[in-house]
Structure 1
């Protein structure tokens, strides 16, 4: 099976849910690309704030424990909109009108950003290439740099698989070009 590509604009990602509803963003045989020129609908890109404090998930393992108990059905909030660049720090992910999505958590344990996709290629997909740029600004001491990225076909608890190649970031770079190849086994068409 041929690998397909997701090319995503500037700054994003937390969870990828494959096998979503018919309303999810569609990956076609040409791939998927989003420049974030318009606010994405919640069925495609959604967010959730997990209550708590910044120090409550200070390690990758703690983040993984918090993500494991989530269901995709609990992550339903549409991204907030901001005209400021960069937007203020808030508990949920934000769509910025000049073409990017931002997570800049404050006052919570974890900010979740989820992209939901359906396979619209017309055939089963065995692998998926993901590429995007992750822009970093100065962080605070207890932050884990970058994002922790997971994917799931079911969106159920304990179904999230870590994508280590997309997790973390080099804090010496202001822009990290992130890429990974996900070997999916079989992702059925229209799932």
Structure 2
């Protein structure tokens, strides 16, 4: 699908995003263009040649290396995230609205959007294995286990809680729109959901 087939709008909030507006104009233009480049679920190939051909087709000054620099800058501010699936380099916009009657993406979702319950559960299992044996157990319970031996206490898990703000706006956030903070809030919300699920699993045991 080409860019001309995608009738999309640029959200005004982009121009109030301090972090994004601090980037050089060419990087911002690539960021805006990516909103038309990605599919209906906000995903696309991160191959520089493909992006350059779609967004900068006649600009000989823009090379694949230029596009790579743009992508790195956009990742740094939390506007996009890049990931690899089976050796294929992909990207996803972090703050992507739902599209009415949109087509299902043919590309896999980035790992960060998957439910974190599995990773939370896996971390507890790893904790149990590492603390196994006589050295890791006391009175039949795993070292660091909470009441009833159900696994690490809530306080222990809280140590890994991600911040809901980007690095630039620590620790209190900002009143202005920020793509990095939006991405951080999404990760924080996913972590909270995973913690709630893990807590429910522990109570059910």
How does the TM-score come out when normalised to structure 2? 0.23
Q: Give the structure with the larger strand fraction.
A: 1
Greater Rg over alpha carbons, structure: 2
Normalised to the residue count of structure 1, the TM-score between the two structures is 0.24
